[in-house]
Amino acid sequence: MKAQYSRGVLGVSRSLLLAIYSLFALFPLIWMIIISFKSDAEMFTTTFIFHPTLSNYYSVLVGTDYLKRFLDNLIVSVGAVIVSVIVGVPGAYALARYNFKGRESLAFTILSFKFAPEILVILPLFMIYQKLHLYDTYLGLIWVYQLITLPLLIWVLRGYFEDISLEIEQAAQLEGYGWFHVFQKILLPLIMPGLVSAGLLAFIFAWNSFTFSLLLSGFKIQTVTVASLRYVASDTVHYGYMAVAAAIATLPEIILALLIQKHLVRGLSFGAVKG
């Protein structure tokens, strides 16, 4: 009886704590969405009770080139992830299977990209990009985004490949499957959870990237992160417009995160292959 009672109290206090934390975490998001529906007039005078209006949305989406920026961001992020997958999968396989000199140094170097603060490398990169005419190009951004997306993919997939025992590949070879078949029929299905979750996480990081696109792209290409800055004008901050820009920018991420949340933890932890 006593155990049950204390278990009940524990359960309720646990739920209470979770509720408080959720409120704390979600509040900025909720507030931002509320603001996006508020007109300038009511911005500073009301809190939760106001007259919602779509004028902000109209101004931003129709009135500016926001949608083009959204598309730019999409192209660059998706492009970066695709390149990372194409490069990362074979790279992870090599790191997992082949024993070559300097293997661990190479692996650590790739991981270290994620450690380096973007601000640190941005200035030299700026100059290099100017020289290479990569400034303000899709290719330029996709390439530099590899610093964000590639390490994650390689690190996760290497773990997956290491967990697939070499004998499974050898068994497939002996059964008469060529290299491509082995990859397609055996390896791919087994690394899929890792590939999907790491890929989606990489997309989210690329989508959010600010520093690189700020300094390495100019007028032709701008990501929404940078584009939203525009609303911070020198005299006022147009909160309504900014809220709209931010809200729409986060939309893809929220949808994706909700979709993959089940797979995120499981997919990112190794040891997925047993037996």
In the complex, the residues that contact another protein under the rule CB under 8 A are: 3-4, 7, 165, 167-168, 170-178, 181, 186, 189-190, 273-275
**Least Cβ distance, residue 166 to another protein (angstroms):** 9
- Looking at the Cβ atoms of 131 and 274, the one nearer to another protein is 274
- Looking at the Cβ atoms of 191 and 247, the one nearer to another protein is 191
Reference 136, options 215, 227, 218; nearest CA is 218
Residue with tokens 């990372």: 84
Beta carbons within 8 Å of 164's beta carbon, 6+ residues apart = 186, 187, 190, 191, 273
Residue 168 burial by Cβ neighbours in a 10 Å radius (0-12, 13-18, 19+): middle
- Looking at the Cβ atoms of 191 and 202, the one nearer to another protein is 191
- Looking at the Cβ atoms of 25 and 174, the one nearer to another protein is 174
DSSP 273: -
- Looking at the Cβ atoms of 126 and 177, the one nearer to another protein is 177
**Least Cβ distance, residue 261 to another protein (angstroms):** 23
- Looking at the Cβ atoms of 116 and 188, the one nearer to another protein is 188
**Least Cβ distance, residue 1 to another protein (angstroms):** 12
Three-state secondary structure call for residue 191: helix
The tokens for 246 are 């931010």
The tokens for 143 are 């390439």
One-letter amino acid for residue 21 of the chain: Y
DSSP 146-178: HHHHHHHHHHHHHHHHHHS-HHHHHHHHHTT--
**Least Cβ distance, residue 170 to another protein (angstroms):** 5
Q: Are 250 and 235 in contact (CB under 8 A)?
A: no
**Least Cβ distance, residue 169 to another protein (angstroms):** 9
- Looking at the Cβ atoms of 121 and 192, the one nearer to another protein is 192
One-letter amino acid for residue 108 of the chain: F
**Least Cβ distance, residue 97 to another protein (angstroms):** 13
**Least Cβ distance, residue 153 to another protein (angstroms):** 21
Q: Are 187 and 203 in contact (CB under 8 A)?
A: no
What does the alpha-carbon distance between residue 188 and residue 41 come to, in Å, rounded to a whole number?
A: 56
